Structure 1
Amino acid sequence: MIRWLAALCLFVLGAPVHADEMRPVAIQFEQVGETEWRLGWRQPIASAADDRMAMPELPANCRIKGAVRRQMAPLAAHGTADVTCDGAVAGRALGWPAFPGHGEAILRVAPLDRGVQVHRLTPEQPSATIAARPSSAQVWRSYFDIGVEHILAGWDHLLFVIALVLLVARPWPVVKAATAFTIAHSITLAAVTLGFGGIRQDVVEALIALSIVFLAIEVARGGRDTLTQRLPWLVAFAFGLLHGFGFAGALREIGLPEGEVPAALVSFNLGVEAGQLLVVAAVLAIMALLRRWRPPSEPLAVRLVSYPIGIIGAYWLVDRLAG
């Protein structure tokens, strides 16, 4: 069990230093005339292995018209091009060929006479067939998957949830705290996405890092009588409002399909909740095993895990404040 805990600490310490890296490739294919389309894409650059000259693979009946316009930045490559298509694109495939440094791409297709459709591309499915009539089910499925991956790949949200479970420890209080966190981040996520308010993203990210440090300190202090120990749901709700701004920033990066904003928003949030419940269940299961096999070791083990969580959160806080 001690070896398991050591491995867990090393795993947490080895988490990516850039926490909320839910930054997929974004591809926009927009119709501007009867046969004319505009292609645009943004490719995050995660490593030297990424091909900065990569571009989407067009449907077989489409071709680039004129020059491809590119703009390079340290962390992203942007491109646009004018496209001409012979006939309809419905039933044709459009994809992204280069996935070495990132795990997915979000494709938005916007015909003139039909609603916007959204497709999620992965290394296993690098292309998608453009639908003649996109269904709401396709939007629900795509954004649910995006929400699950966001919470599981967004290390700042993930560490906050882990620290919250470690602090509360007991199943029923954990359920109440997790529910309060979910309600709170749903409120701010919806408010920002629908245009009712917002906070600068750099400020949000710094405050999220601060929330991780705060919870890590509370966990490390053990069983002392604090507000967080007495009313964990209240603290979870307050910080959930903050994390909702972070979720909204990620959703803004991905984009929302016109005409399907409510479906995309709800399904993304449900995906986040599903991923969060997986994390909560996994941490509670590990704690239950420890409590069963080595009961006296549980307080020490929980405190041991809180230190790397706090160190990573403090690093993110300083890094984000420094810009």
Structure 2
Amino acid sequence: MSRLLCPLLFVWLGFSSAIWAHEIRPAYLQIDQISPSNYDVLWKVPSANDAVPDIEPQFDSTLSLQEQGGPRLLAGFVVFRYRLSGDSGLLGTRVQISNLALTTIDVLVNLNLLDGSKQSFLLHPTDNAIEVPRVPGKWTVVQTYIRLGIEHILLGIDHLLFVLALIILVSGWGNIIKTVTAFTVAHSITLSLAALGHAHVPGPPVEATIALSIMFLALELLRKIEGKATLTSRKPWLVAFTFGLLHGLGFAGALAEIGLPQTEIPLALACFNIGVELGQVAFVAVMLLLIGVLRRRTNWSLALQRLPAYAIGSVSAFWVVERTLAFAL
């Protein structure tokens, strides 16, 4: 299977390019209730090359929206703050994002109420409005968090690169299924523990170590190409499970930024996890299909077989340095 590394890498790059064609950074609308008739509103829009999409939240005519200070630039985003007021409140009213259909941007809406309850919605260019329910329905939670889970894994290039390296390293359908299952079980455990507050590890070190796990697999690829026995080839499920625990903490960090609706925490957590698994299964299925198609190509030289391993190792090494500096300095 190592002979397939080079063509598969080019397919991977094409897949990544298609993903990045969609704006992977969602806009973010945070609404915090501060009194029965007043809300603090944070509106964060991704920007590129000083260009800011002409999109903005629009609320019911019974509500008044006033800007609080000017816009601020923050790490690739433009941030606006508003005060939303209205005697009837926000529940039961319509929230819409103007001009969203003209973009490729998703919008995550988080609503925090005085009673401690939370509601989350995901708006899209083809579905740019939501009526805020007075009592959040379970089906809304299911749809929102499954989609968030799928989008997170499919846009998480580092997680997918780890999975890709794993399935290339492992030989045999049985071993592949065991390995992917071990990875799934492991990251489900730590995702659940962290999301429920039973485990906490700072995000930046976790992200740096995830990059290190990818670099480890790149080295394993090189050893396998050279005909050496590797830990991953001998016990792939053990490597997948061990690093899966780590990747689960990375998923939990993303989920912490999104937030969980307080009245439906178990359901939202389960649906996010299901979404992650659905995205992962889809990715693995596509990669295995491509491996099957490319299996006839056996004329790759040793140098060409090594090239993808060096590419994966170089990218992951860059991430290790970048992410380590992010919390070390």
The aligned counterpart of 1:277 is 281
Separation of aligned partners in 2, 1:3 and 1:31:
53
Q: AA paired with 1:121? A: L
| DSSP 3-state at the match of 2:263 | coil
SS of corresponding position for 2:35: coil
TM-score (norm 2): 0.84
Contact 1:5–1:301, Cα closer than 8 Å, also in 2: no
Where does residue 217 of structure 1 map in the other structure? 219
Measured against aligned partners, the alpha-carbon deviations of 1:80-102 in whole angstroms (never above 9, x if no partner) come to: 32222253544432133365887
The alpha-carbon distance between structure 1 residues 2 and 65, as it changes in their structure 2 partners (threshold 3 A), is closer
SS in 1 for 2:84: strand
Match of 2:308 in 1: 305
C-alpha separation in 1, matches of 2:128 and 2:305: 41
Matched residue of 1:79: which SS?
Answer: strand
Distance 2:254 2:174 in 1: 30
| Aligned partners of 1:24 and 1:102 also within 8 Å | no
The residue number in structure 2 matching 1:82 is 83
- Counterpart amino acid of 2:235? L
For the aligned residues, what is the CA RMSD?
3.2
Structure-1-length-normalised TM-score: 0.85
CA distance in 2, matches of 1:142, 1:308: 35
Q: Aligned to 2:321, which of 306, 318, 321?
A: 318
CA gap of 1:23–1:320, structure 2 versus 1, over 3 A, is same
Q: Hey, what's the Cα distance between the residues in 1 that align with 2:6 and 2:320? A: 30
Q: Which runs of 5+ in 2 are unaligned?
A: none
TM-superposed deviation, 1:60: 2.7
CA distance in 1, matches of 2:154, 2:34: 37
Equivalent pair of 2:29/2:110 in contact (CA under 8 Å): yes
Write the letter of the residue equivalent to 2:325.
Answer: A
- 2:70 and 2:244 map into 1 onto residues whose CA distance is 41
CA shift for structure 1 position 104: 1.6
1:249 maps onto 2:249 in alignment = no
Change in Cα spacing, 1:170 to 1:50, as seen in structure 2 (3 Å) is: farther
Alpha-carbon offset, residue 45 of structure 1: 3.9
SS where residue 57 of structure 2 aligns? coil
Give the gaps of 5 or more residues in structure 1. Answer: none
Aligned partner of 2:59: which letter? L
Kept after mapping to 2: 8 A contact 1:36/1:82: yes
SS in 2 for 1:56: strand
Structure 2 distance, partners of 1:84, 1:107, is 18
Tell me which residue corresponds to 1:154. Answer: 156
Cα deviation for residue 11 of structure 1 reads 3.7
Secondary structure of the residue aligned to 2:28 is strand
Give the drift of 1:182.
Answer: 1.0
Change (3 A) 1:6 1:267: closer
Name 2:235's counterpart in structure 1: 231
**2:103–2:125: 8 Å Cα contact kept in structure 1?**
no
Q: Count the aligned residue pairs.
A: 318
Match of 1:170 in 2: 172
**Structure 1 CA distance, aligned partners of 2:87 and 2:122?**
25
Q: Indicate if the aligned counterparts of 1:140 and 1:263 stay in contact, CA closer than 8 A.
A: yes
